[in-house]
Chain A
Amino acid sequence: MSEKKHRVSRRQFLNYTLTGVGGFMAAGILSPMVRFALDPILKEEAGQDMVAVAQVKDITTEPQRFDFKVKVKDAWYESEEPRSAWVFKDEKGDIVALSPICTHLGCTVNWNGEKSNPNRFFCPCHYGLYEKDGTNVPNTPPTAPLHRYEYEVKDGTLYLGKAKPRGEA
């Protein structure tokens, strides 16, 4: 191609410069605002402190419900939110702390909540059932086991962290 065919007309040149300058200005105005709006997804997820929940000597092989409070910071609003856990020792003597939140639609499950299904967790909303170790019973609404709390034991006291899906805690 010859040099001539590449000549930029006055109109084209003005179009390019104006688009460039305009785009630069628009980007300068919009990028802080967009970053401002996207902030929640780019903020690091806040870790959660381990909270003292129970004395280890009180924990039996029978699941017991323990209520506790966690500190929650929602932007400028700080509060203490109630949580609870079903805690017991399994056959190996390890502590298991299950979240009472049904994995179906988030209702609260109870141990031995229904007479015809002894030794199971029962969700009254849609008759969801879980075995003692939290595994969901097939052919009931829940599709995943109850979440397990991260835990640690210090000086005979049980501390709980975040509830995570089975396999992650």
Chain B
Amino acid sequence: MLNKIYDWVDERLDITPLWRDIADHEVPEHVNPAHHFSAFVYCFGGLTFFVTVIQILSGMFLTMYYVPDIKNAWESVYYLQNEVAFGQIVRGMHHWGASLVIVMMFLHTLRVFFQGAYKKPRELNWIVGVLIFMVMMGLGFTGYLLPWDMKALFATKVGLQIAEATPVIGPAIKTLLAGHHEIVGAQTLTRFFAIHVFFLPGALLGLMAAHFLMIRKQGISGPL
């Protein structure tokens, strides 16, 4: 049945080369844990991507209930966690996944660093990777405020003060992030929400596309 549908579409649109080009490529022996178990270190990049997919999915579902507003944010989070079926699970996935992304990304970076895989000709991919790292940190920072509880508020105040400590432009950066000269409040929350669900994920998808295109173009680095 599925094969027939596939063949029907393929006959008209010739989609086989499209996905072959993306999915069908050899895994070199030194990257295959079946040959050398130590090759499991090559999995961390893929695991980062896997957890990112979970983050995007669980985040999409969370916005069905979440309200980015100082009066309703905490109440809506409380409601989705305690009154909605599987709310604790879905929020838990997003909460724990956020930490896991950072861990996986860190391990992936360590592997690339210690194997020297960032060297010519892959310098650009390292740079894009660092940009992805910054976007991920931004996602963590902005997402932390959204539950609008005490921990969220004061963590954000600390973060904003760190930004404010930048020479010369510090106060301007802080106001730009917080949306107000003094108050961490209504405008901060809406800003952080917008940054968290639209701006940074958009940037992240673009950067990840570049990251993956480059690795396909250049191939994985050779054995040590």
Contact = CB atoms under 8 A, between A and B. Distances in A.
Interface stretch (B11-19, B81-89, B118-126, B130-138): B81-89
A39 B79 CA distance: 12
B57 to A, nearest CB: 6
Q: Which of A33, A37, A39, A42 has the most CB of B within 10 A?
A: A33
SS class of chain A's interface: helix, strand, loop or mixed? helix
Interface in A2-54: 29-30, 32-33, 35-37, 39, 42
Contacts of B90: 32-33, 36
Given A29-B54, A39-B87, A77-B72, 15 more contacts: A33-B58, A33-B61, A33-B86, A33-B90, A35-B85, A35-B86, A36-B61, A36-B80, A36-B87, A37-B64, A39-B84, A75-B76, A75-B79, A75-B83, A76-B75
14 contacts: A29-B93, A33-B58, A33-B61, A36-B64, A36-B84, A36-B87, A36-B90, A37-B61, A37-B64, A39-B84, A39-B87, A42-B85, A76-B75, A76-B78
B76 A36 contact: no
A75 B79 CA distance: 7
Contacts of B75: 76-77
Interface in B48-106: 54, 57-58, 61, 64-65, 72, 75-76, 78-80, 83-87, 89-90, 93
Nearest to B75: A76
Interface of A: 29-30, 32-33, 35-37, 39, 42, 75-77
B87 A33 contact: no
Contacts, number: 42
6 residue pairs, one from A and one from B, having the closest CB atoms: A76-B75, A32-B86, A32-B89, A76-B79, A33-B61, A36-B86
A33 B64 CA distance: 11
Contact of B93 (A32, A39, A42): A32
Contacts of B87: 36, 39
B85 A36 contact: yes
Given A32-B89, A42-B85, A76 B76 contact: yes
B222 to A, nearest CB: 26
B2 to A, nearest CB: 11
A81 to B, nearest CB: 18
